[in-house]
């Protein structure tokens, strides 16, 4: 599933070709929202909010897409051949000099901008780690909410209502960097450690938000012990830890939506 850095890169790629331009044609998958209402409207903003991409229009409407596992946005010149079959397009927006196509996206919504704060997904999101005005104190307050005290730290980092943008890759990578067991209960983590987790998450997301198109996500910071390797632990089950040589382990974690966690049982001593 695309994480916060990918969505910010997607928004940055679409913004110069959509913002300030009038929509000349709009088509969507049926059944789906009536995107023909957007024809003639001018795009006023393209923004990433956590793992969501929103497009706002001067007629007061707003589009939201959530890419889930397989969705992606592409931008083409008028008449240019698409890289994927038209049958996989869920949403198409055209301007005089660009065609923006959202492929394989399971979530496409159209609603009034004034209702954004009431939206069941957007209205409950925690602070976006890549937002210019990111508030770490509000993030820590949300992570410390009593409702999360019984969660493991790995589950809490994925809770978009506490902090928006961290996905499964960053969850495992950040916990390895900070030498914390992913099974540690939130109630057992002190404020200083929690602040470091948030800061490291934001640093890694920001470092990857500007990577060139098609480049691999890198969390190893060009460390000599991991030369040419983009990730520390994610996807490396049974391979040696780059810090201590212990085989990396993995398991499913979480009750609502189980996700695979990767960790080093020696570097990240604690509950398992």
Active site (catalytic) residues: 2-3, 51, 259
Tokens of 139: 């993030």
- Cα 147 versus chain centre, distance: 23
Task: Supply the DSSP symbol for 257.
Answer: S
CB-side exposure of 41: number of CA atoms within 13 Å?
19
Check the CA dihedral 17-22-28-34 and report its sign. Answer: positive
Assess contact for 89 and 96: CB atoms under 8 A: no
Q: Are 125 and 50 in contact (CB under 8 A)?
A: yes
Tell me which residue has tokens 């079959």: 85
Quick count: other Cβ atoms within 10 Å of Cβ 245? 9
């Amino acid at each position: 599933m695309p994480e916060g850095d990918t969505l910010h890169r997607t928004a940055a790629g679409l913004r110069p070709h959509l913002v300030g331009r009038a929509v000349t044609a709009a088509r969507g998958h049926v059944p789906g929202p009536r995107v023909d209402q957007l024809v003639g409207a001018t795009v006023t903003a393209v923004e990433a909010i956590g793992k969501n991409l929103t497009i706002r229009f001067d007629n007061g409407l707003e589009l939201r897409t959530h890419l889930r596992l397989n969705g992606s946005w592409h931008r083409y010149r008028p008449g240019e051949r698409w890289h994927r079959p038209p049958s996989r397009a869920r949403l198409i927006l055209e301007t005089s000099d660009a065609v923006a196509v959202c492929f394989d996206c399971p979530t496409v919504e159209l609603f009034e901008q004034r209702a954004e704060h009431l939206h069941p997904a957007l209205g409950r999101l925690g602070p976006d780690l890549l937002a210019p005005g990111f508030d770490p104190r509000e993030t820590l307050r949300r992570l410390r909410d009593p409702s999360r005290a019984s969660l493991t730290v790995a589950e809490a980092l994925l809770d978009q209502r506490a902090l928006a943008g961290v996905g499964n890759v960053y969850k495992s990578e950040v916990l390895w960097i900070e030498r914390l067991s992913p099974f540690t209960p939130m109630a057992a983590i002190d404020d200083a450690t929690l602040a470091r987790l948030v800061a490291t998450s934001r640093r890694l997301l920001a470092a990857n938000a500007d990577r060139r198109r098609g480049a691999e996500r890198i969390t190893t910071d060009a460390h000599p012990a991991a030369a040419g390797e983009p990730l520390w632990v994610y996807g490396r089950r049974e391979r040696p830890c780059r810090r201590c040589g212990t085989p990396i382990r993995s398991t499913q974690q979480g009750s609502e939506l189980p996700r695979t966690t990767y960790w080093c049982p020696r570097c990240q001593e604690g509950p398992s």
